[in-house]
Structure 1
């Protein structure tokens, strides 16, 4: 999520306002009347449990039901109410937007990557929202080819996203996906790079993941169900043919699996991936023989996950087979079944083996120990070493390395105080070169900020890591505003990274903290397993315990503690306000997954069946009872709740708009306090918000203005 002189001036003003001796006038909320949603009781009876849902009718825009217009009218009324309540912050929001935008280098260029004779990169121009995808042949001094001008393509569109850029092996054609409604339903287009023409082939309703076979005329891609948006089929398209006649080469029968298609870095193999939370299967094909059937690398088995890494003379396999934190195996090219696997790196209880990247002479192993990532470089000849990182809390990851023959590793390093830095690392000599560091326009001195890694003790004795960043002049007096963020689902680790927008919080006296709660994978695979299904409550209580720890350590107090999370992290926000409503002065819930049971019961809602292994299937009584114990919508009570800003998108494909809309309506009708409750629905966008590189900053400005209004910060 992401340089102008006005931005610099505003930043100077902001810095002048951080002195706590300055008197701030509390924001005066307008005396406006919030919308009242119509009540239309809907009865749900399951497992002998009867529940009345007064706002179920809000699903009708998604279902194209009779109340579709009423849904839009209600969301519009909530938007108008938010505009009224936040009207006094309009100038602040405008200034914040300029300030945030002012830190971004508008004319910029990515570090080029080399593949198959060309250097590829993106570049942006001053004042433009999107980028240009470009290449140069053989040398960076060569003539630039603009492969796709996304600024030009996006003209007149409220949303535009291009993805999956895939160049044919002969470098003459490019396939790519385009989404114009923010619902992740991509149309694949194909461009002739010699003539500049986008040919007539247009493949609708895809994942946006085209993969070329070696013949330069066959494309494999993932086709989606138009209603559920499930990835259901892998299809094969021939250039200059009608997509309606594309052959299906694989159809997924298990609706709990996501599928996709990809190509090995060497270009030799095409893989079909079928992944559930607890098991998966990979099918493979020689890229030189696209008309042959795919064969299974290893048939799926319950609770066994594996990934395939092809080398010239063997396959490596990253797997959790008898190895909770994963181990590395190998097998011959012609004998891929599990009975042929031999161990290369054994399982370790204290190290999570996350990823393996292959090169002709090396592999790079991404591991996680004590919650921090490590990069281990291993020469196929035998010697190995780790790349050293020195900060107490940081993020390190393998970058874009499409050239299989390279002996240079591209990796990315960042921390809460170090801007994103791209390095090239010679895997033989260990020499590293900084290729680019994110520039913060207007200047940035990391020495003005402090980052820490602390540990809170959860109620069951578990130590939960917290990463923090703040200005050096922090006084631990319990009066400092602090924003605590977390996600905590799907085994997705929230690693600490630099964000220039965050400076607008820190420079106004906020502490920013990340709670590395269970449900992520920061502390290993068990960390994830202890925060899902029938142990999901650990995610919520961990976050609360982290908040209490920060209060106990005088980083903040209840009158100044704020919480933020999005999507599954929005579920977290919904749970914590039910469990500990008096701990938070304000909460920002972005695209929150809060109506857990109703969504998981409706298999027509996108992604539902894919999620049973994460949340459970409420058609089973034990899962239903447990989910009902924490589902935010089900657990709203007549009590006081904190100030809240809730955001959603009308076209969201991941968490449908009606979940936060129903949640807010029920909170309004039930809560006993007079605290602020605002709902913002973006009528043009979906789950990820705006597509332009500046428009999303308006959402950040709104979020920050909400926090600042609650803190009495008006500049």
Structure 2
């Protein structure tokens, strides 16, 4: 469940901060723009377009109102397309005199990135898989080498980005596709269990309609086109010649599952599964051991799971659990048992639990959810959020009072469990982390038999650190840390309280020693000496204590005078992403304050935090956000006329509602 896409490299094509700076003017940026608007002045004679109003009555929940902009729902309407063109033209004209500034900021952000961006190799079966962006190129290469042949080439972790030997195999070159078509967006990559084929989806037009391609890695040839368009997810069966994929509808909602065998001419034949409810999307995934394919139909709050035996396709597709409103299931398999992460604890009852997730199991022979046995239940203030399963270990992602934790438990302990147990009764090993404010992202971790868990750890002041956690020996080692160039800071790399320079770290052999863990404080490399980061609590309108993370430059920040940017989301129980982002430095070094408000509706100290900001309680989210904005001003972090807001996806609703309620508080907003 926790495994990510095959391998990912974080490379910002268009720096986020550039989007922010595009709302500002000249060197004084935000404040200048605010002053111009205050005096009703503009840098261009172009008149802003005004959308037409068409009367339309809406009735819901016993309330009726007029929505004059409902006509914009018809995105193919010529009037709507014309209006968008007018808006784009106005924006280009308005921003005309900032073009040089934009170019300068873009160059500044790019200059912080190393000339070569790469991922450390990860062992999967007999191969070492890795990815890197060659110097002078824009897109990555997905590559591999046989682990047994790495001695003469990959003696050190650093060598994999220096030179290319004849034994390196390039599986996919994004740059080659981009040069051929002028555009490239690779959706997903899946290597077959026998490592002979690569299935990938690619969009070469910008339409977001992905085409499925199969590449034979033995002869480097792409198989004749299958004509499969609109593919979202792909998984292989254990025979390595049969694969499953999902297709999307006209609204790009994945809703059908198909199966095809290499060499077959039958495409889009009778689907294995069709989801007719437009509020549900379909995804397919392989269990970590590759024994089963799960078909997951998910809405925002509910899920239904079907399973396919990947080693015996003749058994067909079977439903694991019935659909119940508010109930979610996430499935893994381990030696004849399905392990299920679910919020439906009280088996047999027709109501979901309070929102807490539990780990349950049942034998493969019995697919009825009524037979689930609870295995792990929450421990006091520690709540389960996600899991990843290996042959000998179970990895749990946890939340404790709003902070992220990750631990491993020996599977043998779970197998021997006859009654439900709390996490602290399972002798868990909590992975060492640099701080309570860090973000944790899983690595690929494809190999079910491995005892090493790879994770990416970062914070607002700490660049991404790739860490290997040895779950058997309960030790860890730092493998790689993201480089930040043109920053006056002597970066040190740390592992188990041992200071090591970067050159020393990169000289560690691939089969590296795992440093002995001691009881002293763990140290990690960060920029805390340059950038200040702290978490505060803001008292909201009803007394709720809302966490807010505040970030600024120790040198450039001016109390009571600095501009600020407040991020918000507040939906689906998700905590705001506070991982490292190098592009923020362009804001921080100019005195900006960046803050993250974890308002109700999102992730918080317990599951009730989400419910108290959802549905009829959604206004709590908005009031929390307003309270956080007022706090930044009243405490002198931000000037009262220099505060902006950012909302992405559901966060746009939050920010827009806050602006409607208190337009004087925010001087600008980015809604994406």
Smaller-chain TM-score bracket: 0.7 to 0.9
Aligned to 1:167: 191
Note if 1:559 corresponds to 2:603: no
2:568 to 469, 486, 499: 486
Aligned to 1:419: 463
Note if 1:498 corresponds to 2:529: no
**Does the CA contact (< 8 Å) of 2:230 and 2:252 recur in 1?**
no
Note if 1:448 corresponds to 2:492: no
Shift of residue 348 of structure 1?
A: 4.2
Aligned to 1:343: 374
Matches within 5 A, 1:72-91: 72-91=81-100
Note if 1:319 corresponds to 2:350: no
Shift of residue 50 of structure 1?
A: 6.1
**Does the CA contact (< 8 Å) of 2:177 and 2:183 recur in 1?**
no
Aligned to 2:482: 438
**Does the CA contact (< 8 Å) of 2:48 and 2:90 recur in 1?**
yes
Aligned to 2:522: none
SS in 2 for 1:339: helix
Shift of residue 288 of structure 1?
A: 1.6
**Does the CA contact (< 8 Å) of 2:404 and 2:436 recur in 1?**
no
Note if 1:44 corresponds to 2:95: no
Aligned to 1:668: none
Aligned to 1:109: 118
TM-score, normalized by length of structure 2?
A: 0.79
Separation in 2 of the partners of 1:46 and 1:307?
Answer: 37
**Does the CA contact (< 8 Å) of 1:366 and 1:397 recur in 2?**
no
Shift of residue 88 of structure 1?
A: 2.3
Aligned to 2:332: 309
Aligned to 1:180: 204
Distance 1:18 1:555, change over 3 A: farther
Aligned to 1:151: 175
Q: Which moved more, 1:206-215 or 1:70-79?
A: 70-79
CA deviations on 1:336-383 (whole Å, 9 max, x unpaired) are: 433332222223452220111111111111101111110111112334
Instruction: Please tell me the root mean square deviation across aligned C-alpha atoms, in Å.
Output: 2.8
Shift of residue 219 of structure 1?
A: 1.2
**Does the CA contact (< 8 Å) of 2:129 and 2:143 recur in 1?**
yes
Gaps of 5+ in 2: 1-9, 13-25, 154-164, 346-352, 414-426, 490-526
Distance 1:99 1:26, change over 3 A: farther
Shift of residue 320 of structure 1?
A: 0.8
Aligned to 1:94: 103
Separation in 2 of the partners of 1:50 and 1:154?
Answer: 50
Matches within 5 A, 1:149-548: 149-155=173-179, 157=181, 159-225=183-249, 227-242=250-265, 244-322=267-345, 323=353, 324-348=355-379, 350-382=381-413, 383-443=427-487, 445=489, 446=527, 447-473=529-555, 477-548=559-630
**Does the CA contact (< 8 Å) of 2:453 and 2:471 recur in 1?**
yes
CA deviations on 1:30-84 (whole Å, 9 max, x unpaired) are: 1423243463524334358665555444455x33x4xx2x444433332232222
Shift of residue 503 of structure 1?
A: 0.2
SS in 2 for 1:283: strand
Shift of residue 150 of structure 1?
A: 0.6
**Does the CA contact (< 8 Å) of 1:176 and 1:208 recur in 2?**
no
Separation in 2 of the partners of 1:183 and 1:569?
Answer: 25
Separation in 2 of the partners of 1:511 and 1:380?
Answer: 45
Separation in 1 of the partners of 2:131 and 2:28?
Answer: 41
**Does the CA contact (< 8 Å) of 1:184 and 1:207 recur in 2?**
no
**Does the CA contact (< 8 Å) of 2:126 and 2:147 recur in 1?**
yes
**Does the CA contact (< 8 Å) of 1:167 and 1:174 recur in 2?**
yes
Distance 1:81 1:190, change over 3 A: same
Shift of residue 86 of structure 1?
A: 1.9
CA deviations on 1:265-306 (whole Å, 9 max, x unpaired) are: 111111111112332221112212224311122223333222
**Does the CA contact (< 8 Å) of 1:392 and 1:453 recur in 2?**
no
User: Which protein has greater RCO, CA pairs closer than 8 Å, 6+ apart?
Assistant: 1
Distance 1:372 1:18, change over 3 A: farther
SS in 1 for 2:315: coil
Separation in 2 of the partners of 1:36 and 1:472?
Answer: 42
SS in 2 for 1:559: coil
**Does the CA contact (< 8 Å) of 1:44 and 1:50 recur in 2?**
yes
> What is the number of residues matched between the two proteins?
570
CA deviations on 1:79-118 (whole Å, 9 max, x unpaired) are: 2322222222221111001001111123121122222221
Separation in 2 of the partners of 1:523 and 1:156?
Answer: 50
Separation in 2 of the partners of 1:282 and 1:265?
Answer: 16
**Does the CA contact (< 8 Å) of 2:119 and 2:131 recur in 1?**
yes
**Does the CA contact (< 8 Å) of 2:557 and 2:592 recur in 1?**
no
Separation in 2 of the partners of 1:181 and 1:51?
Answer: 40
Separation in 1 of the partners of 2:205 and 2:50?
Answer: 27
**Does the CA contact (< 8 Å) of 1:172 and 1:194 recur in 2?**
yes
1:125 to 134, 144, 156: 134
Aligned to 2:523: none
Shift of residue 453 of structure 1?
A: 0.7
CA deviations on 1:441-487 (whole Å, 9 max, x unpaired) are: 22353121111011111111111111111112366632121111112
Separation in 2 of the partners of 1:390 and 1:562?
Answer: 30
Separation in 2 of the partners of 1:568 and 1:2?
Answer: 24
Shift of residue 421 of structure 1?
A: 0.5
CA deviations on 1:119-161 (whole Å, 9 max, x unpaired) are: 1111102232211111112244371111111111012656421
Separation in 2 of the partners of 1:534 and 1:146?
Answer: 53
Gaps of 5+ in 1: 4-16, 591-715
Separation in 2 of the partners of 1:45 and 1:287?
Answer: 48
**Does the CA contact (< 8 Å) of 2:54 and 2:68 recur in 1?**
yes
CA deviations on 1:175-234 (whole Å, 9 max, x unpaired) are: 111123445432111111122221123343434311111222211111111x22222211
Shift of residue 582 of structure 1?
A: 0.3
TM-score, normalized by length of structure 1?
A: 0.75
Matches within 5 A, 1:568-647: 568-590=650-672
